[in-house]
Structure 1
């Protein structure tokens, strides 16, 4: 098992925390970013030499670049970048405030984009590495009441897939991780809910309220096993472009993509009708 150095955003909870715990326990080094250092005090005390915790607000592009530059400068080499920081925002589109929209885009989408851009020059200079983008099966499947979350995840998946083609020649692999529902704080703690309007109470836009209540049943996904599979993916060559974690997530993704393809296949005549005629 090769020892590596990792840079992970958002390590105070959820997948970021679980990844960090497993990596430190197996002897790897981790630079982990948080907004509140008190939340990872136990890890700092348990692994004073292997764990470097730093405060970062991923919505600040200058801070993202400075933090990444400093990490590479201090450590010399970082093998894996994990873009994990993010959160869920639930509610119908018209229930969301402008500030809520701006913040989730700045965190989930722009923050991840800036992390890629800050890390790529360093990875290229050192001859390669791996970037892991935490997305969701919600980067392929859309549900009512999740419009802005989907906007950020569909957006970052398109960005990451294009960048994967740009950096492959430099020995940099990119993997998009699409977990299904998991028993993390994302669902049962950190999820943000809009100022709900009664007009949507009997609308699919509020179905998410059942999901956020643990009394209605817990998610099937085990964050420990999911984190282990993410760590193992770094040993796979070439880097897998996408990894779906969770049987329900995979089934839903496959059904959605099949339906999308079937719809496209009905449009052959329509698509051709907009082309110039042959030889014209």
Structure 2
């Protein structure tokens, strides 16, 4: 195949679906993952010439390894890996059980990390490839009620930023996409909620929970336009490490940068004096 082969996780809905459809329209080939066999069969029936669906549980390490090996055996390479699959979660830190925390991290961090590790040997062999991590503006700035989700995306951004430095000399690119609120199922059926509710957090985490549910279906972000931006990023000769998407993301990330800079300046003398003279 002359055109690029994209491996995109979580293409059943939202941004993943929009991206897969847009990539196929460009003439590139998509290997996309679903969580149910019926979705796999339907996709393969409709897109036999432009895409190939495969069953994947992003929290299953063996499943990840087998899926990558199957893809390489069938198509020879993966040019662009898009780690899109994941989950949202709302709950105050104290409200959230460790079981709930682990569920979020398995999907948003460990699964993405494992899939990235599984694809890297083949990209290293080709001395080529682009890894695109779908993070969030919540991977830069935290919000009350979103702390566990924020933590999972902060972790994703941390290893991806280091990875970008590690693989650049090999010829592999890494980009982190940071969408704001987009009109997907993220704030609807795709949103996890802490089972435990503590009334003292009603004005913080509780308010955020209500706000997020209230904007479901009304978000400013257009998944189709986001897909085009990601394709343009992948086709760029010199892609940026980060790609914010949406007006809200620009505001959120700007506020975080201002806050960090303010703290840096207020504590500059203290920091400078905390050294051996």
Q: Normalising to structure 2: TM-score of the pair? A: 0.94
Structure 2: tracts of 5 or more residues without a match: none
Q: Quote the RMSD (CA, aligned, Å).
A: 1.7
Give the number of equivalent residue pairs: 276
1:210 is the counterpart of 2:216: no
Q: Partners in 2 of 1:251 and 1:154 — Cα distance?
A: 18
Q: Partners in 2 of 1:27 and 1:208 — Cα distance?
A: 41
1:157 is the counterpart of 2:180: no
Deviations along 1:110-146, one digit per CA (max 9) or x if unpaired, are 1111111111110010120100000000011110001
1:115 is the counterpart of 2:115: yes
Alignment of 1:2-13 (within 5 A): 3-13=3-13
- 1:188 alignment partner, SS class: coil
Q: Partners in 2 of 1:274 and 1:263 — Cα distance?
A: 16
Q: Partners in 1 of 2:266 and 2:6 — Cα distance?
A: 46
Match of 1:65 in 2: 65
Q: Partners in 2 of 1:199 and 1:100 — Cα distance?
A: 19
- 1:186 alignment partner, SS class: coil
Preserved contact between residue 37 and residue 53 of structure 1 (Cα < 8 Å) = no
Cα distance, 1:193 vs structure 2: 0.9
Name the CA shift for 1:151/1:276 in 2 (closer, same or farther; >3 Å).
same
Match of 2:93 in 1: 93
Q: Partners in 1 of 2:217 and 2:33 — Cα distance?
A: 31
Preserved contact between residue 188 and residue 214 of structure 1 (Cα < 8 Å) = no
Q: Partners in 2 of 1:213 and 1:148 — Cα distance?
A: 17
Preserved contact between residue 145 and residue 205 of structure 1 (Cα < 8 Å) = yes
Match of 1:225 in 2: 225
1:129 is the counterpart of 2:129: yes
Q: Partners in 2 of 1:213 and 1:84 — Cα distance?
A: 22
Alignment of 1:182-193 (within 5 A): 182-193=182-193
Q: Partners in 1 of 2:97 and 2:6 — Cα distance?
A: 36
Deviations along 1:78-129, one digit per CA (max 9) or x if unpaired, are 2100011101010111222222111111110111111111111100101201
Cα distance, 1:210 vs structure 2: 2.9
- 1:93 alignment partner, SS class: coil
Q: Which moved more, 1:120-129 or 1:216-225?
A: 216-225
- 2:71 alignment partner, SS class: helix
Match of 2:181 in 1: 181
Structure 1: tracts of 5 or more residues without a match: none
Alignment of 1:128-147 (within 5 A): 128-147=128-147
Cα distance, 1:40 vs structure 2: 5.1
Q: Which moved more, 1:147-156 or 1:43-52?
A: 43-52
1:44 is the counterpart of 2:53: no
Match of 1:18 in 2: 18
